[in-house]
Amino acid sequence: MLEHLFGSKTRVRMLRLFLSNPSESYFVRELTRRVDAQINAVRHELDNLVEMGLLEVVDSDENRDDEEETIMTGGRKYFRLNTAAHLYPELKALFDKSRIVVEKDFVKRIAQIGQVQYLALTGFFVSDDTVNTDMLLVGKINKEKFVPLVRQFEQEVGREINFTLMSPQEFKYRRDVTDRFLYGILESRKIVLIDMVSERVGDAALVRISL
């Protein structure tokens, strides 16, 4: 949907990456890896976004060391989201709304590769950095098929996703023994996408999408 609106898949992926990580700065070759695009396309979109005032050029990060990038550019040039841009609030709201569609599509794809009993998004998805995972999934899942779906989902949301995958038996055992790690997730703020467990788990759940 956003690709049609903005006319460029690379631009959408870059904006999603910057909007999901507003305090981070990236150099050109790093962006090509993160958004899976050709370097010329990335540079073209960077020029456009800087000209529109949505991105800003920042000083090199002294903690980073990329000799190849230094040679290619004659010095490392980093780019960061300009949160002071006039369009920033509207752009962030638009991408936040589009993520709901992405999440719903992810649920459908997950349901096609296994039997999912519980799926919740937490951590990054609810701006809670106290939780050690961004996704909890319980069910009988083909992991070889699941991991590529998560990697694709990461491209769509613009950042790496830490996930926890449990079988129904492991989930039940951990819940019965009041496992600290599991209850740290269940009692945190979260977005529940699938819930087919017999008992409600966690009062802080926000049920947004269901199959």
Question: Is residue 136 within 8 Å of residue 174, measured between CB atoms?
Answer: no
In the chain, where the domains are located? 2-86, 95-207
CB-based contact 20:134 (threshold 8 Å): no
Which run of H or E residues covers position 69? helix 67-73
Query: pLDDT for 57-101, tens place per residue?
Result: 987 644 444 544 433 444 578 999 999 999 899 988 888 777 777
Give per-residue pLDDT as tens, 143-183: 888 888 888 888 777 778 899 999 999 999 999 999 999 99
pLDDT in tens, 92-126: 888 877 777 777 888 888 888 888 899 998 888 88
Instruction: Tell me phi and psi for residue 165, to 5 degrees.
Output: -115, 125
Instruction: Quickly name the fold that domain 2-86 has.
Output: Arc Repressor Mutant, subunit A (1.10.10)
> Is 209:107 a contact under the CB 8 Å cutoff?
yes
